[in-house]
Structure 1
């Protein structure tokens, strides 16, 4: 049996990701015949069948599936190692990869990223949305360096820093009967259409901290990915939404929105930045967290 090489894992991952030799070849800067030759050579070197043909498609064998899982674990770590070595060589140069689990946090993040980039002219920032990575798992697998989340999951090897306090409120439109209410109770949302981000209800505070403890469910739930579209829907009376008070205030003039306290006591929340403890010595990462947590 031959030696398993990094290039083997890269080819296996790209063929599985793209679903065709033509598309994978383009990603790998190889022609289709050259990629086909590489695939045969890999199987000969390793002494095991990695793919089987089903019509025009290549399907991974059991050995291929295992190698794909290995590639998905190891390749991001190779990329991270190379990036870190480049940073050491260039003195503070690199890319800070941020994963966002907090949909309405983009406006807040913009206010942090802009001055941060001025502070670190050799550092780039890459922001990934939730569907592009696996949250906590992405931190462990080195796909991202910082996780922005309102719901930290404390695990050994990870550290979460609270950087921003906010209140979750109910946003309603200018014609909504609750628009002048001081607060809203769960039972008042029984006949409402609740507009949310595409997040499971068990991870939405409006459900876990407000509706479910009272045994209440809204008449309907609509999921919308984009904050602006969500607020337009609310402003035109198509539903209500639970959002940070600062975000509702920021958009209130543009969309004629009204923020209402959820319950008599309200719902207090925090935004956390999670990172790997092993990255504590990366100056520009530590500075981003400290800068994000500092009052402005």
Structure 2
């Protein structure tokens, strides 16, 4: 027995639908003799009778009826698959997998994702949190498509686009003695409880760019994963936290928080979106980066 092919099912479906070889041939862009030859070839190839003649009509055999049922189920799936593949090829459909290597960036990301999904109704967004410490490896292994990070690691095959500038500040509560200070020196944190995300010190800018160069360590460090809980603790005088100024500003409507500059010049940072250079032609990925870098994503 030969191999059942898609065009066999197409011919069976069209002959059954049209009821005559002439009409089916027109739908299939075949002459009647060519269609008759194709029918004989299918039966020979499959080694089974699919049609029997009743007068001038072709009637499906039991095997033919089963194949017609199969064609009616499978052919729409083929058409859908081809349409989906075309959409994937054109960058119109897919899932954008975003890896977060920046704890306080979720609020910013929400501002980008919501209008982006409206623009791309056939693209889904999946945010992965497990890559906070291995984002570059996740990009190379195709586990994520975009890495959100304040600390790009430039490697061949990867591209990083700066999308958002911000200042890292110290968030303090309403009763904190540093509340009205224009800027602070590292020594002023020596007796403080520093609340941070659960990230190693070598990955925290408050350590690498502020405390460690001055040889200073805080009296105590508390690690809290959730931004809301962290800022509730700060507002109630349980410690201080280093966060983006825009984030502290957003939370001032909910908690009594005050941003203080770190050092006379402050600490300037950027959020970068990293992606594989081989994905440059994926329209929905490229558009996400362009949209994230546009001014209205910061409003």
Q: Give the alignment's TM-score, normalised by structure 1.
A: 0.70
How far the C-alpha of 1:253 sits from its partner, in A, is: 2.5
Distance 1:258 1:56, change over 3 A: farther
Question: Is there any run of 5+ residues in structure 1 with no aligned partner, and where?
Answer: none
Contact 2:100 2:132 in 1 (8 A): no
Aligned residues between the structures: 295
Contact 2:88 2:94 in 1 (8 A): no
Contact 1:194 1:241 in 2 (8 A): yes
| Cα-to-partner distance string for 1:63-107 (whole Å, 9 max, x where unaligned) | 999999999999999999999957536861100000000100011
Question: Is there any run of 5+ residues in structure 2 with no aligned partner, and where?
Answer: none
Secondary structure of the residue that 2:254 maps to in structure 1? helix
How far the C-alpha of 1:252 sits from its partner, in A, is: 1.2
In structure 2, how many angstroms separate the alpha carbons of the residues matched to 1:213 and 1:13?
76
In structure 2, how many angstroms separate the alpha carbons of the residues matched to 1:203 and 1:113?
26
Q: Hey, what does 2:154 align to over in structure 1?
A: 154
How far the C-alpha of 1:136 sits from its partner, in A, is: 0.3
Distance 1:156 1:238, change over 3 A: same
Contact 1:173 1:236 in 2 (8 A): yes
In structure 2, how many angstroms separate the alpha carbons of the residues matched to 1:103 and 1:230?
12
Distance 1:92 1:181, change over 3 A: same
How far the C-alpha of 1:153 sits from its partner, in A, is: 0.4
Contact 2:233 2:239 in 1 (8 A): yes
Larger Rg: 2
47-56 vs 3-12, which deviates more? 47-56
Contact 1:186 1:214 in 2 (8 A): yes
Distance 1:99 1:9, change over 3 A: farther
Asked if 1:283 is matched to 2:291, the reply is no
In structure 2, how many angstroms separate the alpha carbons of the residues matched to 1:219 and 1:55?
98
Contact 2:101 2:132 in 1 (8 A): no
In structure 2, how many angstroms separate the alpha carbons of the residues matched to 1:56 and 1:194?
90
147-156 vs 2-11, which deviates more? 2-11
In structure 1, how many angstroms separate the alpha carbons of the residues matched to 2:56 and 2:237?
50
Secondary structure of the residue that 2:139 maps to in structure 1? helix
How far the C-alpha of 1:133 sits from its partner, in A, is: 7.5
| Cα-to-partner distance string for 1:158-212 (whole Å, 9 max, x where unaligned) | 0000000000000000100000100011000000000000111011000000000
Contact 1:194 1:218 in 2 (8 A): yes
51-60 vs 140-149, which deviates more? 51-60
| Cα-to-partner distance string for 1:252-290 (whole Å, 9 max, x where unaligned) | 131100000000000000000000000000000000000
What RMSD over aligned residues (CA atoms) do the two structures have, in Å?
15.3
Secondary structure of the residue that 1:238 maps to in structure 2? coil
130-139 vs 170-179, which deviates more? 130-139
How far the C-alpha of 1:145 sits from its partner, in A, is: 0.1
Distance 1:125 1:46, change over 3 A: farther
Distance 1:122 1:168, change over 3 A: same
